[in-house]
Amino acid sequence: MQLRIYFNPAELTFIEPPEEDIYIVIDVMRATTTMTVMFEQGARQVLAAQTLEQALEAGRKVPGRILCGERHTQTPPGFDCGNSPAQFATMDLNNRELVLTTSNGTRALFACPEKSTRLAGCFYNGTAVTAKAIELAHEHQSNIAILCAAEYGYFALEDAACAGYLAQEILRQEPDIQIHDSTHGAITLYESYPPTILHEKAQSSLDLIATGQQKDLEYCLVRNKSVCVPMVTGIENATGLLQLVHPASQLIEI
């Protein structure tokens, strides 16, 4: 079994990313942390959209769907909620369907090969998402890839550091996994920029603080508080949106 890390979705355009790999997609601030919290609060399904228009259309199609997302950290007009894990943590989402579109995270899910297995990873579900990726990689006899969503095409420190943290977790659980140069780099970044330092240094963190959304950092920069592992299970035919669920079978002890 091998582990590779991509620091930017653009890297996938220079290679032929294997469809059979298990992809852990990371957008620490905030999309993949937000998805994890949505399932913690009982969501039945999260539908990931690339554009505002797709999200609005998917929201209109089925009454009762909660339309969520952001552009430049703010809730778009006509949407019910933004992209704040702290906000979703206060909501009862039992059996609800949510449509989510964000600037980087939901798009990164679409950057993976079309039929690949995709998990949403973050600090918040670190142990759970890596355990699930290893389980699936054994089941499918495949490799694991970690994809950082990055920030509008640019390197994002918190995603790269989180990739290093997840890589450490994978190595702890699967010591014989073969690692690539990218893994050494990510682990070194995590050791230099743990969550306490990311809080002060990562630009996304500073942006959330500057816009009064610092409460989200209590979710984005905390390790292993959740056993929820959002997983892409397919595409909704009517809308083309990616369907994510958190199957009960994924519930594990951490």
Ligand X SMILES: O=C(O)[C@H](CS(=O)(=O)O)OP(=O)(O)O
Interaction site with ligand X (CB under 6 A): 27, 29-31, 70, 72-73, 83, 102-105, 149, 151, 204, 207
Minimal CB distance residue for ligand X:
102
Identity of the residue, 10 or 254, whose beta carbon is nearer to ligand X in the bound complex: 10
Q: How far is the CB of 118 from ligand X (least distance, A)?
A: 15
Which tokens go with 6? Answer: 């991509």
Q: How far is the CB of 176 from ligand X (least distance, A)?
A: 34
Q: How far is the CB of 74 from ligand X (least distance, A)?
A: 8
Identity of the residue, 31 or 146, whose beta carbon is nearer to ligand X in the bound complex: 31
Q: How far is the CB of 179 from ligand X (least distance, A)?
A: 26
Identity of the residue, 36 or 73, whose beta carbon is nearer to ligand X in the bound complex: 73
How many CA within 13 A on the CB side of residue 85? 28
Give every strand in the sheet of 97-101, ordered side by side: 66-69, 97-101, 45-48, 242-245, 231-235, 117-121, 22-26, 144-148, 2-6, 178-179
Identity of the residue, 72 or 212, whose beta carbon is nearer to ligand X in the bound complex: 72
Give the three-class secondary structure for 4.
strand
Q: How far is the CB of 178 from ligand X (least distance, A)?
A: 30
Identity of the residue, 137 or 241, whose beta carbon is nearer to ligand X in the bound complex: 241
Q: How far does CA 178 lie from the centroid of its chain?
A: 23
Beta bridge partners of 119: 24, 231
Radius of gyration of the chain (CA): 17
